């Protein structure tokens, strides 16, 4: 028995998750290519590649911050809209989507002005010096002009996937990535625009993706369509309440990236900028290594939310189990790659052997407990999918703000030196992920056979 489009209450759970998750995973792959292709080309610019790549690393916390606002609407909006559809209330589902979209437009306009004006001060604070700051500023001030299309393509694409159109969602990202891959070498090398060309290529590519998203969501195919602008106060409150989880997750990443850059600059000595460059490459590796489980998580989230709204708790439990086992298998494989074959990934971005050697050393510490992240992702996405905002928010802050940030500040001074920055991530993966999963198990999963015991 197969499920009609957008109905996840029928069909084998694992089959539904794979059907949804595979296109999303491919879209994630393309999205990562979208992000890292700039770093690939920038890292190979003759003479200035390593310095320019470091400048891009300085921008990462602010780029992550922009993505956080997309998560604010997509995490809460898409999840609540899917639960409403599971309950049979398509009208409320549409209001949620309209509210999320309108709010994204408002936030995008504010961020564009604010980040453009404060860029010189903020990029200096985030680790830029006299060599890397010019490249960071040149890239970021163009990138930030494209904030609104970035928010639309990232934030609203989740509503396409959540309605059972993962292939359409994949086209959203593929379109932008393909355009970016074509425009990058043209602008960077042929037009000799350097890092400014890379930023311009990204902005134009995101604009194309945003147009595609809006054309589909306003068209006749999705069960719930985007028909108008407007904010429903009650729905906005609910979207923000749950969406703050995805927002906080991204913001805490931004904060910890900023702290890491500052500590690398403080403890790296004459190699401080090289360490920031290595961290930039580790972030790129992490994006690649997280691809498969991100696809599974988004597919699982749609299936869990819909069936939770329909009160089909056995199917919710089956979704959690499949998610967990798949995640453990995927992350264990990625751990093997990071520990034993890291050079293959790193050399995609740079041919500077000193930087490659340093990144391999730091990366093996950073990714040392990577399999445990399957526990973190399973617990975190279950909290979000079933609308447990307090739990989701707490564990969004626990690993990064309560563990990574303090450990990053403390460990270098406790005899570990600059390596302590990378050991902070290792320790947080062990402790934070285990706590998140254990709480989810006792608060939700174990009670699925007796759903009357479920409380928030």
Q: What is the pLDDT of residue 241?
A: 84
Beta-carbon contacts of 212 under 8 Å, excluding residues fewer than 6 positions away, are 153, 171, 172, 175
Q: Please state, in angstroms and rounded to a whole number, the distance separating the CA atoms of residues 166 and 173.
A: 11
Q: What is the DSSP letter of 131?
A: T
Encode the chain (456 residues) as per-residue pLDDT tens digits.
444 556 788 888 888 888 877 776 766 666 666 666 677 778 777 778 778 878 877 887 888 888 888 888 887 888 899 889 888 899 999 999 999 999 999 999 999 999 999 999 999 988 778 888 999 999 999 999 999 998 998 889 889 988 888 888 888 878 888 888 889 889 988 888 888 998 999 899 989 999 999 999 999 999 999 999 999 998 999 898 888 776 877 777 778 888 998 899 899 888 888 898 888 889 888 878 887 888 788 778 888 988 888 888 899 999 999 999 999 999 999 999 999 988 887 887 777 889 899 999 999 999 999 999 999 999 988 998 888 888 888 887 888 888 999 999 999 999 999 999 999 999 999 999 999 999 999 988 988 877 666 665
From the CB of residue 447, how many other CB atoms can be counted at a distance below 10 Å? 16
Tokens of 76: 């809460």
pLDDT tens-place string over residues 125-149: 887 788 889 999 999 999 999 999 9
Tokens of 204: 């134009």
Q: What is the DSSP letter of 187?
A: I
- Model pTM score: 0.68
Tokens of 346: 């790193």
What is the full DSSP assignment across 26-77? Answer: HHHHHHHHHHHHHHHHHHTSTTTHHHHHHHHHHHHHHHHHHHHHHHHHIIII
Q: What is the pLDDT of residue 67?
A: 83
Q: What is the DSSP letter of 452?
A: G
Tokens of 388: 């447990």
Q: Please state, in angstroms and rounded to a whole number, the distance separating the CA atoms of residues 395 and 379.
A: 9
Beta strands in 327-453 (DSSP E): none
Max CA pair span of the chain: 65
Beta-carbon contacts of 304 under 8 Å, excluding residues fewer than 6 positions away, are 316, 319, 320, 381, 382, 385, 386
- Report residue 6 CA to chain centroid gap: 24
Q: What is the DSSP letter of 123?
A: H
Q: What is the pLDDT of residue 28?
A: 64
Q: What is the pLDDT of residue 3?
A: 47
Tokens of 113: 């002005």
Q: Are 186 and 131 in contact (CB under 8 A)?
A: no
CA-based Rg of the chain, rounded to a whole angstrom?
A: 21
Q: What is the pLDDT of residue 2?
A: 46
Q: Are 59 and 233 in contact (CB under 8 A)?
A: no
Q: What is the pLDDT of residue 106?
A: 95
Q: What is the pLDDT of residue 453?
A: 61
Beta strands in 271-429 (DSSP E): none
Q: Are 99 and 231 in contact (CB under 8 A)?
A: yes
Q: Are 314 and 340 in contact (CB under 8 A)?
A: no
Among candidates 388, 390, 171, 386, which has minimal Cα distance to 300? 386
From the CB of residue 455, how many other CB atoms can be counted at a distance below 10 Å? 8
Tokens of 323: 């998610």
């Amino acid at each position: 028995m197969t499920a009609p489009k957008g109905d996840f209450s029928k069909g084998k759970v694992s089959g539904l998750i794979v059907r949804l998750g595979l296109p999303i995973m491919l879209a994630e792959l393309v999205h990562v290519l979208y992000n890292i292709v700039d770093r690939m080309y920038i890292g190979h610019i003759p003479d200035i590649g390593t310095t320019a790549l470091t400048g891009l690393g300085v921008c990462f916390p602010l780029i992550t911050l922009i993505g956080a606002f997309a998560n604010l609407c997509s995490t809460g909006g898409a999840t609540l809209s899917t639960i409403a559809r599971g309950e049979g209330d398509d009208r409320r589902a549409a209001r949620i989507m309209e509210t999320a979209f309108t709010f994204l437009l408002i936030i995008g306009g504010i961020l564009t002005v604010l980040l453009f004006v404060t860029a010189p001060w903020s990029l200096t604070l985030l680790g830029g010096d006299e060599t890397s700051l010019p490249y960071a500023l040149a890239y970021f001030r163009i990138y930030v002009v494209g904030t609104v299309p970035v928010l639309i393509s990232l934030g609203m694409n989740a509503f396409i996937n959540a309605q059972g159109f993962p292939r359409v969602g994949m086209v959203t990202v593929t379109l932008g990535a393909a355009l970016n891959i074509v425009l990058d070498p043209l602008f960077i090398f042929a037009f000799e625009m350097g890092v400014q060309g890379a930023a311009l290529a990204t902005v134009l590519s995101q604009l194309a993706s945003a147009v595609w998203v809006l054309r589909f969501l306003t068209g006749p195919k999705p069960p719930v369509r985007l028909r108008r602008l407007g904010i429903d106060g009650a729905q906005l409150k609910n979207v923000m309440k749950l969406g703050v989880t995805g927002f906080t997750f991204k913001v805490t990443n931004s904060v910890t990236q900023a702290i890491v850059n500052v500590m690398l600059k403080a403890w790296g000595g004459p190699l401080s900028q090289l360490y920031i460059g290595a961290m930039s490459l580790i972030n790129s590796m992490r994006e690649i290594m997280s691809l498969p489980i991100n696809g599974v998580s988004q597919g699982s989230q749609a299936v869990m939310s819909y069936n939770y709204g329909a009160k089909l708790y056995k199917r919710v439990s089956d979704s959690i189990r499949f998610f967990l086992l798949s995640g453990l298998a995927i992350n264990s494989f990625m751990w093997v790659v990071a520990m034993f074959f890291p050079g293959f990934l790193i050399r995609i971005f740079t041919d500077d052997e000193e930087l490659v050697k340093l990144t391999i050393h730091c990366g093996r510490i950073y990714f040392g407990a990577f399999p445990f992240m399957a526990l973190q992702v399973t617990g975190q996405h279950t909290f979000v999918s079933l609308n447990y905002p307090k739990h989701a928010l707490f564990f969004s802050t626990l690993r990064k703000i309560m563990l990574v940030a303090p450990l990053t500040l403390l460990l270098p001074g406790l005899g570990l030196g600059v390596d302590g920055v990378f050991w902070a991530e290792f320790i947080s993966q062990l402790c934070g992920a285990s706590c998140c999963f254990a709480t989810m198990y006792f608060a939700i999963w174990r009670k699925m056979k007796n759903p009357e015991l479920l409380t928030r």
